[in-house]
Amino acid sequence: MRIFLILFLASFAFANDFFRHPQNGAKNYNESWDYVFVLDNGAKAYVSYTWMNVPGSGQKIGTQFSVWNLNGKSTSVGRQYPTERFHEDKSSKTINIKNEYLMENLPGKGHRVFFSAEKNGKFFLDLKFTSADAAQIPDNEVFNVNGQKYGLYVHIPYGRVEGRIGINGDTVSVKGYGYMDHSWLTDAATNMAARSLLFASPNKDRIAGRINISPKGEIYGYAISNKTSKPVFPAEILEGESAYNPQKFPKGLTIKWKNEEIDPLKIEIKIQEKFSILANADGFVERQLIKATMGEIFYLRGRAQTEPWGRVDWILSGK
């Protein structure tokens, strides 16, 4: 009975982490569900569903999909919808946006993500996790950053995926590995993070997670490694031998951990693709409002061969 109760409570807490969190009066509240898929055919795909505050427009639901090097094609698409299009069904463990975007089943084995859109083309993704490493959630769950709050849940540090991806009617069956995390913050992302680094790896000894640096140099976030049964927290971030200055994009980064038994993660920033978040904004006026209030945010994506962690796929974002 005691074991059953522990498992029930753990499952209940995990389910609450997957669904949307209360805003508690935060005007610039943002919440995001982010996926990275690294496919066996050499392609990569990315999906984000976001409850966001859009300058000049108020709160909206944003959907983003991009693919790199799928049969030689790379493309991206973004859409926005009013918040009433966002529906949660906790009994079926599903988040549904406009019946065109779906997160089905709790994160883990059997979790499914679905994306479909027609905007300057037709786009389609339907992938399911056929396996998944266990999630690890920090005890306090929330990081305090310059008077604001940031929640991060690395739900799937690594899992095998399979399904289909389509661009303009050209649909491909794919397999690969995936990463998924879920985050929320009580202020605009640019006020809380000058740089954000997401990383994942498919190796036998692997590490995955998200680390952020605030404009004032505060380091927060965490990673999961299969070398330890507890979350791994950053102690410092270096560029070369010096503390990293988050006001610029680096040539390489070294993350040292508070968990001293865990090897540092050294990433060389060799870029496979770079794009601006403004590329998928809805119209000229909104692009100008976002640029004026938040600045232009860039996403750099690439891959590094590291010691001792092996191959690491990463995303670095910031102004």
Tens-digit pLDDT profile for residues 17-73: 899 998 888 888 999 999 999 999 999 999 999 999 887 788 999 999 999 999 998
Average pLDDT across the chain, whole number: 89
Report domain extents, the chain.
Answer: 11-318
Local confidence band at 289 (pLDDT 50, 70, 90 cut-offs): very low
Local confidence band at 140 (pLDDT 50, 70, 90 cut-offs): confident
Whether residue 172 contacts residue 197, with contact meaning beta carbons closer than 8 Å, is answered with: no
Q: Which two tokens stand for residue 65?
A: 């999909």
Whether residue 67 contacts residue 165, with contact meaning beta carbons closer than 8 Å, is answered with: yes
Output phi, psi for 280, to 5 deg: -110, 15
Q: In terms of pTM, does the model score above 0.75? A: yes
Task: Return the H-helix or E-strand segment holding 13.
Answer: helix 2-18
Residue 280 in this model has a pLDDT that exceeds 60? no
What is the rounded average pLDDT of the residues 91-100? 94
The DSSP secondary-structure symbol of 232 reads: B
Q: In the prediction, which pLDDT does 304 show?
A: 96
Give long-range contacts, CB 8 A cutoff, 24+ apart: 237-241: 237/211, 237/213
Local confidence band at 309 (pLDDT 50, 70, 90 cut-offs): very high
Local confidence band at 279 (pLDDT 50, 70, 90 cut-offs): low
Q: In a 3-state reduction of DSSP, which class is residue 241?
A: coil
C-beta neighbour count of 57 within 10 angstroms: 15
Pairwise CA distance, residues 125 & 197, whole Å: 24
Residue 132 in this model has a pLDDT that exceeds 90? yes
Q: CATH second-level architecture of 11-318?
A: Beta Barrel (2.40)
